[in-house]
Amino acid sequence: MAVFQQPPFNLLTILGPTASGKTRLAVALAGEMNGEIISADSRQVFRGMDIGSGKDLHEYGAIPCHLIDILDAGEEFSVFAFQRLFIEAFESITARGRLPLLCGGTGMYLDAALRGYRLVEVPEDPALRTELGTRSDAELAAMLRELRPEQHNSTDLADRQRTIRAIEIARHEQNRPTETEPFPPVRPLVIGIRWERSELRRRITERLRQRLDNGMIEEVQGLHNQGITWERLSYYGLEYRFVGAFLRGELTRNDLFQKLNSAIHDFAKRQETWFRRMEKNGVTIHWVDGAGDPLAEARRIVGERREW
């Protein structure tokens, strides 16, 4: 009697730091493997935030993509919401007999999809928010670090409302341990793109120049003209924060480029730190050389796994 064997993987994941070429590799593999792409990016979900979030929509061609342009700019999005939508997309793609490819660099989102734990939505706590509203930014940062000694997501510390929400979530998790909920049978194969640090810095710098020349400043101004406050735009990350400061007259054009470029380089280092932490937590990442032939290397890795 033949024994049924499940395929060795049912989710292919492409990750890497910003400007590493993740989308291009994911699209190429999706085209060869009857795949559809699920974006793991905290900002590409928003319509109208194209250049600042690095959507690179032109690279997708005819490949279906999910979790891009699903919300209006100005709305909020969370890791909980991402995980729920990821599971829906994963199950839908799989049911059609196609291969889901998860592609992105937002560490928390990748973790939420790959590590097999179900997140629970944390309700707002008005009493706690009132109490925290009287605290200084420094006090809030200290509280969050005490609740989460491993805190590494500096974005939560760059915006007061994000810090308060992070404390709210940490308090909830501490006081009400959540029961494990069922998670889809995800069997991931994870491929990461790696570059020499100097070459990645060059790519980041060149990409930033292109984005500034191709309308990123005008995109941010347009979003503000639509009624999105500078504070809310700052919440969406580095590009929107620094371009907003430039548009308010707080930075010169040269300062905008230099400061934003440096901040993105630092962000890429934090992404790489997160990927190393993922590996320590049991996620096997098969690294390919971005400067070589990452598609050929990825094909080899996929082929080896399919032979298991």
Known binding-site positions:
16-23
| CA torsion, ordered 56, 61, 64, 67, to nearest 10 deg | 10
Binding-site annotation, residues for ATP: 16-23
Nearest alpha-carbon partner for 204 in 95, 105, 298 = 105
CB-CB contact of 126 with 78 (8 Å): no
Residue 217 CB burial class (10 angstroms; 0-12, 13-18, ≥19): buried
Binding-site annotation, residues for substrate: 18-23
DSSP β-ladder status, 71-72 and 46-47: parallel
Q: 29 CB contacts (<8 Å, ≥6 apart)?
A: 12, 14, 35, 101, 295, 298, 299, 302
| Residue 233: C-alpha distances to residues 99, 150, 237 (Å) | 35, 27, 8
CA distance 5 to 3: 6
Q: 78 CB contacts (<8 Å, ≥6 apart)?
A: none
DSSP β-ladder status, 285-289 and 35-40: unpaired
- Provide the residue type at 302 as one letter: V
Residue 189 pairs in a beta bridge with 12
